[in-house]
C-alpha cells in the first residue's frame, strides 16, 4: 500500500482510529491491531469511504458484528470499516410484505420486528449473530432456512459498475456462500429487501421463541466465531469432530465446545493462532479418519503462521 497515512487521516478526519485491536470488534474476542478503523453511520458515508479506499488501492474489510471472521494476532494491514448503517423499514401492507434493511442492521432485530407485526419467514434469524451484510455474503441460515429463501434483492457497490441491484438468483447462493464470497470480487453490500408472509403475532413469536430455546440448548454462548466449518454433504461437521475425539478438547485457552463441537470457544485469553491450531487439528483428524476435507465457514483475515 503506497498511500501515505496522513492522506487517510485527512480524508476520514476525526472518524479515523489507529492502533485498534480487533479483539474488541469480533465475537471471538481475538485479533491484533489494524492500520485504521473507521465507523460508518450512513450509507452515504459507506459509499464515500469505499470509493476513496478503492481509488487509493487501500485494502479494506467491511464488518458488522464481527462474527464469522478470525483476525490474525498480527492484525490486518488495511482499513476496517465498521458498519453502523442499521435502518430497518417493514412494509407490512405490501403484497407480499417486505423488509428493507441496511447492511449493518442486526438480523435478530429484523426477526423480532417482523414477528411483532405478525409476519413470518424470518424467525430462523432470531438468534443468528451478525449483520445483514455478512448474512447475505455468507448465505447465513438456521433451522432449515437461510438468506437465499428470504432475499428479494440486494443493493451492492462495486468499483467498476457503481451501484447495482442483484436478485437472489443473481447472487448465485449455495450452502453458506454467495457469488460475492466465492469470487472475492471487490464489492460492498449496501442494503437488502427481504420478503415475508402474513401470520399472527402469536404464531410468529412462538416460533421465534422455540428457535431461540433450541439454539440455547444446543449451541454455546460466549466468545466464539460461530459455526467454524461448513457441514459436508450428507453429514455434520460437529458430528465428525466429535467422532475423532475432539469435542470438549482444549488447547491453551481455546476449546471445541462441549455443547457443540463445531464451535470453538475462547475463555477470554485465547489467541487467534490457538483458534487456528484447533481448526487445523480438526481438519487433519477428520481427513485421516474419514477422508473428508472440512471446509471453513468462517473467514481468515490477516497473516497467520499456518502450515496448511
In the DSSP assignment, the letter for residue 198 is: E
Per-residue confidence band for 185, with pLDDT thresholds at 50, 70 and 90: confident
> Average of pLDDT values for 268-274?
94
d(CA 105, CA 140): 14
Per-residue confidence band for 196, with pLDDT thresholds at 50, 70 and 90: very high
d(CA 212, CA 128): 9
d(CA 54, CA 42): 18
Angle between helical axes of 201-218 and 107-116 (0-180°, round to 10): 150
Angle at 302 between CA 17 and CA 39, to 5 degrees: 25
Strand partners, 167: 153
Q: What is the pLDDT of residue 201?
A: 95
Per-residue confidence band for 278, with pLDDT thresholds at 50, 70 and 90: very high
Angle at 147 between CA 302 and CA 85, to 5 degrees: 60
d(CA 161, CA 158): 6
- The Cα-based distances of 35 to 58, 64, 78, 159, 198 in angstroms read 10, 18, 5, 22, 47
d(CA 141, CA 215): 13
Greater model confidence, 41 or 212: 41
Domains of the chain, with CATH numbers?
5-83 (3.30.43.10), 88-215 (3.30.465.10), 221-301 (3.90.78.10)
Beta carbons within 8 Å of 65's beta carbon, 6+ residues apart: 27, 106, 129, 130, 131, 134
d(CA 299, CA 227): 11
| The pLDDT of residue 307 is above 60 | no
| The pLDDT of residue 72 is above 80 | yes
pLDDT (tens digit, 9 = 90+) per residue, 44-57? Answer: 999 999 999 999 99
Q: What is the pLDDT of residue 308?
A: 55
Q: What is the pLDDT of residue 4?
A: 82
> Average of pLDDT values for 199-204?
95
Task: Name the one residue in this structure whose C-alpha cell is 453511520.
Answer: 41
C-alpha cell at 140: 447465513
> Average of pLDDT values for 95-101?
95
pLDDT (tens digit, 9 = 90+) per residue, 241-269? Answer: 999 999 999 989 999 999 999 999 999 99
Other beta carbons within 10 angstroms of residue 162's beta carbon come to 10
Q: Are 140 and 108 in contact (CB under 8 A)?
A: no
> Average of pLDDT values for 135-142?
93
Ramachandran region of residue 222, left (φ > 0), alpha (ψ -120 to 50) or beta?
A: left
Beta carbons within 8 Å of 134's beta carbon, 6+ residues apart: 63, 64, 65, 67, 68, 140
| The pLDDT of residue 300 is above 60 | yes
Ramachandran region of residue 57, left (φ > 0), alpha (ψ -120 to 50) or beta?
A: left
Q: Which residues belong to the active site?
A: 176, 227, 297
d(CA 56, CA 1): 9
Q: What is the pTM of this model?
A: 0.93
d(CA 217, CA 233): 25
> Average of pLDDT values for 30-58?
97
| The pLDDT of residue 129 is above 60 | yes
Per-residue confidence band for 206, with pLDDT thresholds at 50, 70 and 90: very high
Measured in whole angstroms, the distance separating CA 173 from the mean position of its chain's CA atoms is: 15
- The mean predicted confidence, pLDDT, of the chain is 94
Number of residues assigned to the chain: 308
pLDDT (tens digit, 9 = 90+) per residue, 213-240? Answer: 998 888 888 899 989 999 999 999 999 9
| The pLDDT of residue 105 is above 90 | yes
Amino acid at each position: 500500500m503506497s498511500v501515505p497515512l496522513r492522506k487517510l487521516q485527512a480524508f476520514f478526519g476525526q472518524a479515523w482510529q489507529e492502533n485498534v485491536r480487533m479483539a474488541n470488534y469480533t465475537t471471538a474476542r481475538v485479533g491484533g491491531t489494524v492500520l485504521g478503523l473507521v465507523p460508518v453511520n450512513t450509507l452515504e458515508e459507506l459509499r464515500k469511504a469505499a470509493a476513496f479506499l478503492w481509488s487509493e488501492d487501500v485494502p479494506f474489510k467491511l464488518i458488522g458484528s464481527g462474527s464469522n471472521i478470525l483476525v490474525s494476532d498480527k492484525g490486518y494491514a488495511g482499513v476496517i470499516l465498521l458498519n453502523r448503517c442499521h435502518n430497518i423499514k417493514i412494509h407490512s401492507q405490501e403484497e407480499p410484505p417486505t423488509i428493507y434493511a441496511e447492511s449493518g442492521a442486526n438480523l435478530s432485530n429484523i426477526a423480532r420486528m417482523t414477528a411483532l407485526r405478525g409476519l413470518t419467514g424470518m424467525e430462523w434469524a432470531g438468534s443468528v449473530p451478525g449483520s445483514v451484510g455478512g448474512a447475505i455474503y455468507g448465505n447465513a441460515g438456521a433451522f432449515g432456512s437461510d438468506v437465499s429463501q428470504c432475499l428479494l434483492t440486494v443493493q451492492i457497490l462495486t468499483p467498476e459498475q457503481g451501484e447495482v441491484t442483484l436478485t437472489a438468483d443473481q447472487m448465485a447462493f449455495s450452502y453458506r456462500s454467495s457469488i460475492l464470497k466465492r469470487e472475492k470480487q471487490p464489492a460492498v453490500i449496501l442494503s437488502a429487501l427481504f420478503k415475508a408472509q402474513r401470520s399472527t403475532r402469536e404464531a410468529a413469536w412462538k416460533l421465534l421463541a422455540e428457535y431461540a430455546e433450541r439454539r440455547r440448548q444446543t449451541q454455546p454462548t460466549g466468545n466464539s466465531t460461530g459455526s467454524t466449518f461448513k457441514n459436508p454433504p450428507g453429514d455434520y461437521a460437529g458430528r465428525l469432530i466429535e467422532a475423532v475425539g475432539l469435542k470438549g478438547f482444549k488447547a491453551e485457552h481455546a476449546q471445541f465446545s462441549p455443547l457443540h463441537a463445531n464451535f470453538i470457544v475462547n475463555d477470554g485469553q485465547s489467541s487467534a493462532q490457538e483458534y487456528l491450531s484447533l481448526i487445523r487439528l480438526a481438519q487433519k483428524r477428520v481427513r485421516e479418519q474419514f477422508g473428508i476435507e472440512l471446509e471453513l465457514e468462517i473467514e481468515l483475515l490477516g497473516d497467520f503462521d499456518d502450515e496448511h
